[in-house]
Chains A and B, each alone.
Chain A
Amino acid sequence: MKLMSPKAFYYTVGKKNFFQYILFGIFVLFFYLPLMNLCMLAFADKYEVPAIIPQKFGFRWWEFVLGQGSLLSSIATSFVLAAIVTAVSLLICIPAAYALARYNFKGKRVFLLSFLLSNAYPRMGLYISIGILFYRLNLMGTFVGVIIIHVLNSMMFMTWIPSGAFRGVYRQQEESARDAGAGPFRTFFRITLPLAMPGIAVASVFTFLGSLEEAQGTLLVGFPQVKTMPVELYGVIMEYPLTAGPVLSLILIIPTVLILFLMRKYINADNLSQGYGMK
């Protein structure tokens, strides 16, 4: 026990290292312990007080969750939806992002502020109001309605982050392509777009993952015709929070962790935070 005492540890690793360990320890405990605990509990068949590690491991709750028939089809729906939303959002936002980066036009600031406006209004209040509009347009319970909601949620990142990326592309590079005889479209697609790709990739990841996990708006606008994975999962989590919850949570974060791992080259603070300043 003497070895475990903080004092002994302090003198063993030295003052500087001691604080590194403490800081790193607090960080991991706070941010990763809840997630790791979920992973463990997902495989618990029996977990009663006061056991720290489940008395019995197994796949009982996996069988229960995967036995909920409609789950697999809802996973497919979610991925198709997320792919469409990302494509649509790119088509709508990339031109606007380019305009914001390269042109000065009247109303630019108002346009930038309108994204802030959509973020400042409470989501639920906005969804309710959109719902009333969708009723009139017969968009309630349709795939198109859900796509519109998801695109709306993605617009701020999809415009701000690529806009920052476009701003980072030197004009001289574009100009030299033009001097070499390339037309404006060729310059954009062969020079500007590839150079801005890291920012656009990060924004797309954001949109794809955001769409995968969106539940509130989908529930209000698409239910019960459009059932995505989170909508289905939220329903089960509300009913069986402590038993089925960890299994479903794991199913929900597997795609997130996989995509983040594949895109890890692009995911960094500089890429993610572009556009928050209003210039």
Chain B
Amino acid sequence: MRQKTLGKLFPYLLILPSLIILAGVVFYPIAASLLRSFQLEEGGWGLDNYIYFFTDPIQRRNILYTLQIVIVTVVLAIGISYFLAIYLRFSNSWASRMIGRLYLLPRFIPGLVAVNGMITVIRDSGLINRISRLLGMNLQLGLMYNGKGIVLMNLWFNIPFATMLMAAALSKIPDSTIEAARDAGAERFRILRQMILPLTYRDLFVAATFVFMSNISSFTTPYLMDGNNPQMMGISLYTQFNNGHYEKAAALSVIMFLFSVLSAAVYVYTNMKENEWEKGNG
């Protein structure tokens, strides 16, 4: 009997250290921050901190601007990554092998280094401009201090990550399955649409969720590349904090968190659905 209770408790014992850390530096701080977001600067409690971010024209524009950049980033990054991952999986050419060896490195490059490198290439007196002068043009890319440069940089960070997730998902589809479909006379596009896509759509959503979450609160990229107005929410949060508006900073954190949770809900939903389906099959 005692053995049995111990056996039941054993997994909890294993996760206990993780739980203690999570409770101390995730659950408690988030709860405290949530509480603070309802505190008013002049004392008392209320929703004013939240109302401020949705009614103040500058703040509202910041939120819309951030969402716009993040959604464009997610769509482009996922689309390009899916194409790249399919190419890596099914092509056996030298280019595919080389890219397969090289595409993971950016994942490990410190953010500041990458942003700095990109700026030396795309700024108005950067490498591309200098090369264009050699060819007799004076190409001004206009990618600095606006949303376009940020999307470009986000793609640099997120395409390797999303491609990695897709590549792992695609590697689980056995060659024999594809060959069987091909032998049965299905053309390429049909194999993609009716076979590969259904088998990997869950991983598409997983990647999209993580790309969304990591970009909505991004700081380094907009800090170095963006203009002053409109600002991305990560910068706006930093400004609130630096000016001593701790309650407003907390409220903005919660707002950003809710956007992330919304995108995570898609992830959880697609995962649960898959699990139900698996149960049905025994």
Residues in B neighbouring A37, C-beta threshold 8 A: 117, 120-121, 127
Q: How many residues of B contact A (CB 8 A)?
A: 94
> Given A52-B130, A124-B217, A124-B234, does the pair A152, B25 have CB atoms closer than 8 Å?
yes
**In the bound complex, how far is the Cα of B213 from the Cα of A50, in angstroms?**
40
Q: Is the CB of A114 within 8 A of B22?
A: yes
Interface flags for B187-229 (1: CB within 8 Å of A; 0: not) read 0000000000000001100110010011011010000100000
Cβ distance B19 to chain A, nearest Cβ, rounded Å: 8
**In the bound complex, how far is the Cα of B165 from the Cα of A274, in angstroms?**
9
Q: How many residues of A contact B (CB 8 A)?
A: 86
> Given A129-B33, A159-B18, does the pair A30, B156 have CB atoms closer than 8 Å?
yes
B241 close to chain A: CB less than 8 A: yes
**In the bound complex, how far is the Cα of B206 from the Cα of A93, in angstroms?**
22
**In the bound complex, how far is the Cα of B105 from the Cα of A148, in angstroms?**
27
Contact check: which of A105, A113, A121 meets B253 at CB < 8 Å? Answer: A121
Q: Is the CB of B203 within 8 A of A92?
A: no
**In the bound complex, how far is the Cα of B110 from the Cα of A209, in angstroms?**
9
The segment from B9-17, B40-48, B57-65, B173-181 that touches chain A is B9-17
Q: Is the CB of B257 within 8 A of A121?
A: yes
Q: A209-B108, A269-B168 are in contact. List 11 more A-B contacts (CB 8 A).
A: A32-B102, A34-B118, A34-B121, A35-B114, A119-B210, A123-B217, A126-B33, A213-B110, A233-B112, A272-B168, A273-B164
Most buried by A among B95, B113, B217: B113
A242 close to chain B: CB less than 8 A: yes
Contact check: which of B14, B94, B102, B268 meets A278 at CB < 8 Å? Answer: B268
- Shortest beta-carbon contacts, A-B, top 3: A125-B253, A34-B117, A129-B29
A9 close to chain B: CB less than 8 A: no
Within 8 A of B (CB), among A94-115: 95-96, 98-100, 102-103, 105, 111, 113-115
B133 close to chain A: CB less than 8 A: yes
Q: Is the CB of B112 within 8 A of A215?
A: yes
The secondary structure that dominates the B interface is helix
Residues in B neighbouring A119, C-beta threshold 8 A: 210, 213-214
B93 close to chain A: CB less than 8 A: yes
Q: Is the CB of B249 within 8 A of A116?
A: no
Cβ distance B54 to chain A, nearest Cβ, rounded Å: 17
Cβ distance A113 to chain B, nearest Cβ, rounded Å: 7
Residues in B neighbouring A20, C-beta threshold 8 A: 93-96
A216 close to chain B: CB less than 8 A: yes
B52 close to chain A: CB less than 8 A: no
Q: Is the CB of A24 within 8 A of B98?
A: yes
> Given A121-B30, A152-B26, does the pair A38, B17 have CB atoms closer than 8 Å?
no
B238 close to chain A: CB less than 8 A: yes
Residues in A neighbouring B114, C-beta threshold 8 A: 34-35
**In the bound complex, how far is the Cα of B268 from the Cα of A272, in angstroms?**
20
B75 close to chain A: CB less than 8 A: no
Cβ distance A28 to chain B, nearest Cβ, rounded Å: 8
Q: Is the CB of B213 within 8 A of A120?
A: yes
Q: Is the CB of A269 within 8 A of B164?
A: yes
> Given A49-B125, A119-B213, does the pair A105, B256 have CB atoms closer than 8 Å?
no
Interface flags for B49-71 (1: CB within 8 Å of A; 0: not) read 00000000000000000000000
Interface flags for A118-139 (1: CB within 8 Å of B; 0: not) read 1111111110111011000000
A123's closest neighbor in chain B, by CB?
B217
**In the bound complex, how far is the Cα of B94 from the Cα of A20, in angstroms?**
8
A137's closest neighbor in chain B, by CB?
B24
Residues in B neighbouring A246, C-beta threshold 8 A: 116, 120
> Given A41-B120, A246-B116, does the pair A27, B109 have CB atoms closer than 8 Å?
no
Q: Is the CB of B241 within 8 A of A126?
A: no
Residues in B neighbouring A28, C-beta threshold 8 A: 102
Residues in A neighbouring B14, C-beta threshold 8 A: 95-96, 98-99, 103
B37's closest neighbor in chain A, by CB?
A125
Residues in A neighbouring B116, C-beta threshold 8 A: 38, 237, 241, 245-246, 249
B151 close to chain A: CB less than 8 A: no
A182 close to chain B: CB less than 8 A: no
Residues in A neighbouring B257, C-beta threshold 8 A: 120-122, 125
